[in-house]
Structure 1
Amino acid sequence: MNRTATGTAAVILAFSLASCAASELSPPPEDGGTFESVGDLKEAVESAGLACPELVVDSPPSKFAASSASCGEFTYLAIYTDDVYLESQLDLWKPGGQRAVNIGKNWTVVSEDPDLIQKSLGGSVLHTGP
């Protein structure tokens, strides 16, 4: 290989590695973004490192959710159609004492590890109980 070809290959490799590293380090959306379905939210939760071996979809969904499901005893996922329904759900949970709820633009996740979810998905954590 000549010097030009070797140099070009090195530059291409460097840019490839830099773009991979940049995409891995990009922070999640501050507002948590949106999800189309509880299935999409489940995939994101699993990518964050939280186990969700079996998604049990609620039929009908919980009172204010467009769709909702559970992943075992302590993990609950929900998608909302608008801010009014999301706020209504949070108002219902506040006196009930949910320990912590991750909140995105149109979703909530109740889990044992809200910090893990927030680190990967963004959004905020509402602490409502012990």
Structure 2
Amino acid sequence: MNRTAMGTAAVILAFSLASCSGSAPTRPPEDGGTYESVDDLREAVESAGLLCQELVLDTPPSKFSATSASCSEFTYLAIYTDDVHLEAQLDFWRPVGQRAINVGKNWTVVSEDPKLIQKNLGGSVLHTGP
């Protein structure tokens, strides 16, 4: 085999190995990361396996969020501009008893399946009620 053929074979092998290693599942960021918009958060929630067929934006958004929306009676998404607004929302929910809220760096998801959201999006689960 000549040098050109060997070099080509080496390149093909390297690309093959790189493509195999790229298919390993990645873990979500421990802190949940950030999302630019409620639409981006919706895509992530749907990728996690939670249905969100009809996203209804709140106009105006909830008191502390930059944008908020619901997917159903039991699924609510929100994006916050900073930690102060996010913490204010959590302080509001704590005595109200929202059951469980997924919390990321700049987002919250209230749903019936907080474990699914945490497993796929990361972040933490705040338990505030029964």
- Number of residues of Structure 1 aligned to a counterpart in Structure 2: 127
Residue 72 of structure 1 aligns to which amino acid in structure 2? S
Where structure 1 has 5 or more consecutive residues not aligned to the other structure, the ranges are none
Residue 66 of structure 1 aligns to which amino acid in structure 2? A
Q: Highest Rg: 1 or 2? A: 2
CA shift digits 1:6-59 (9 cap, x unpaired): 5653443222111222xxx22111111111110110001001110000000000
- Look up the match of 1:31: 31
Aligned match of 1:20 in 19, 23, 26? 23
The alignment's TM-score, normalised by the length of structure 2, stands at: 0.90
- Look up the match of 1:112: 112
1:103, 1:48 → 2: CA distance? Answer: 15
1:82, 1:11 → 2: CA distance? Answer: 43
The alignment's TM-score, normalised by the length of structure 1, stands at: 0.90
Residue 80 of structure 1 aligns to which amino acid in structure 2? Y
Asked if 1:56 corresponds to 2:56, the answer is yes
Report sequence identity in percent: 69
Flag as ranges the 4+ runs of structure 1 deviating above 6 A: none
Residue 73 of structure 1 aligns to which amino acid in structure 2? E
How large is the Cα RMSD of the aligned pairs? 1.7
CA shift digits 1:43-94 (9 cap, x unpaired): 0100111000000000000011111000011000001111111111101111
Residue 46 of structure 1 aligns to which amino acid in structure 2? E
Where structure 2 has 5 or more consecutive residues not aligned to the other structure, the ranges are none
